[in-house]
Each structure stands twice: as C-alpha cells, then as structure tokens.
Structure 1
Amino acid sequence: MAMVTNSEITMLNNLKPYKTTWKVEVKVLHSWTQHSNYSGEDTFEFILEDRMGSEIHCTCKSAFLGRVKNLQVDQWKFLENFLVYPATGIYRPTRHLYKMSITANSIVTSSTLTTCEVRLVDQHNESSSEDVSASFSKRKERDGDLNDINSTSNKLCAMNIKMEKKK
C-alpha cells in the first residue's frame, strides 16, 4: 500500500534530504534513458520544473518505471514520496543542490495546472520564506555557453538571454 503524504505542495527550492514524503507539482522539461556500465541497468532521467521555474534532476531505476509512466514532457503532474539527496559529480544537468530519485512508494497523479497559468502565480501567497524567481530571470549571459538539448547554437541561446533581459 502506498504512503499518504501531506497535501501541502512544496516548491523544488525547498526540498531537503531529511524526509521522503514530499509532494511537488512539476512539469517534465526533458527526459532520456541513461545506461550504466557499472550497474548494467538503464535508468530513466528527467528534468523537472515547478511553477516558479526551479528545475531539478530526477532519476528512476527501470524497476520503478511503472511508477512514472504518466510523467510526459510538457504535462503538469503531482509527484509524491521520493528520495532527495545531494547532486554530485561532474555531470549535473541542473543547478539545484539536490537530486530526486523515484522509489517503490512514489506516486504520480494528474494536475489541473496548465502552462498558461505558470507565470501568473502570486509569489506572496507561497509558504516559502525564500524568494524564488522565475527561471528566465535567473539566467545570465554566460549561461549561453551551456549546451542546450534543444539548441545547437550557443550564440542563439546567448541572444535569447539578452532579449529576455531587455523585456
């Protein structure tokens, strides 16, 4: 039987490794399969974003794939009961301090949030004491040097960042 979590939704910037009963509302930005020669099994990797624009890397072993089959790119879902641990290593697809891992108790359910509603959130009504800004405002010109899965041109990425700053 699956664990029941608190109905309170936590923003990705507020996740900490001390518990496994978090509930977040996220959208999948990217997903891919990663093969490991060390363990010999494939893992499924996701970049998730919350409504405030914060991003986090999420991993799922093939044994738990059934738990996340509803996680599809550009769809908003509630994700509950997962591990949070420090993001380490050379390859870090996001700047988040932590990484998420799907467990046998993880639950994915539908959300009513749509992409149109994302930037209309009133930050003053959030329970977080931290000031969380939207993802485009956190970007800097030097971010144009980062490789983007959707873009083959670093110049194009840097140009988009400069255009966002002018707005």
Structure 2
Amino acid sequence: MAMVTNSEITMLNNLKPYKNTWKVEVKVLRSWSQQSNYSGEDTFEFLLEDRMGTEMYCTCKRIFLARVKNLQVGQWKFLENFSVYPAIGMYRLSGHIFKISITQCSIVTNSSLTTCEVPSIDHNKESSSEDLPTSGSKRKEGDTDLNDMNSTSKKLCG
C-alpha cells in the first residue's frame, strides 16, 4: 500500500529533516554505484537538481533500488516519501547542508517537465550575493570519472 503524501511540491532548498513525506520535482544530473568496505553494503548515488537549480545529493541502499529504478539521468521525476539527513563529511557533492536517503516508502513518478521547459542554469558562473557559500560547493576535478548507471546522452530540443 502506497503512502499518501501531500501534493504540494517542495523545492530542495526548503527540505528539512523533521518529516519524511516530502514531494520534490527533480532532474537526475548524475548517478553511480558506490561500493563500501566500511558497511559492506553497496549503494546507488544520485546528484539531483530542482527547477531553481539547487543541487542535492541522494543515496539509496541496494535493497531499495527497485523504488528508484525510474530515476534516470537527464529526466525530470517526482520523488516522494524519503528521509532527509545532514550532509556530513569532507567531500560533499553539492553545497546543500542536507542529503536525501531513499526509504522503503519512497515513490518515483513521471513529471511532465522536459529539459527544454526549464531555464538553463549556468553552473560555472560565480555565486551571486544571494547564494550562501559552503565549503562543499565546488566539486573535485576527479568527480568526472564517476560512471553513470544510465546513459547520459541528451536529447536536443527544437
């Protein structure tokens, strides 16, 4: 039985850890699998972006992979019912102070948005005075070596 959530869409910069019935509309920028010698459990990782250009890291344990199998690079999806935790560690993939964790109740559904409908965000420009600087806001150069789980080819609009 699927958990019924609020139909209100929340932007990534407004997520907080106090509840797990959020609904966000996101595009997957990157995805990869992560092997952990520490926990002995493989995870699948995602870098998500909302229509405002806010990026957020998302992690999914292998046992919940079926919940997010529709999260594909370059596609817009609705993601519901997930946990939000503080993003800790020396190397964070986004400047967001929180990260998303997929749970047994998480749901991914199709969005009607396409890449053509959302204004392009220049991720290489310098931060405006409205942006809060964070130590994790810049990615390491070696991050481009991560392999995507899905094809990263982009369809041209027009």
Q: How far apart, in 2, do the equivalents of 1:148 and 1:38 lie? A: 22
Q: Where do residues 7-18 of structure 1 align in structure 2 (5 Å cutoff)?
A: 7-18=7-18
- Which residue is 1:56 aligned to? 56
- Distance change (3 Å), C-alpha of 1:135 and 1:6: farther
Q: Percent identity?
A: 69
The AA in structure 1 aligned to 2:28 is V
Give unpaired runs (5+ residues) of structure 1: 121-133, 152-167
How far residue 146 of structure 1 moved from its aligned partner, in angstroms, is 3.9
CA spacing shift, 1:41–1:48, aligned 2, 3 Å: same
Cα offset, 1:148, TM superposition: 6.2
**Structure 2 residues not aligned, in runs of 5+:** 128-136, 146-158
Q: Which has the larger radius of gyration?
A: 1
Q: Name the TM-score, length of structure 1 as normaliser.
A: 0.75
> Aligned with 1:24: secondary structure?
strand
Matches within 5 A, 1:5-154: 5-119=5-119, 134=121, 136=123, 139-140=126-127, 146-147=140-141, 149-150=143-144
Q: Deviations over 1:17-40 (max 9, x none)?
A: 000000000000001111111111
Cα distance, 1:89 vs structure 2: 0.7
* TM-score normalised by the chain length of structure 2: 0.79
In 2, are the aligned partners of 1:82 and 1:101 still within 8 Å (CA)? yes
Structure with greater helix percent: 1
Question: 1:52–1:135: 8 Å Cα contact kept in structure 2?
Answer: no
How many matched pairs? 136
Between 1 and 2, higher relative CO (CA 8 Å, sep ≥ 6) is seen in 2
Runs of 4 or more consecutive aligned structure 1 residues displaced over 3 Å after TM superposition: 134-140, 143-146, 148-151
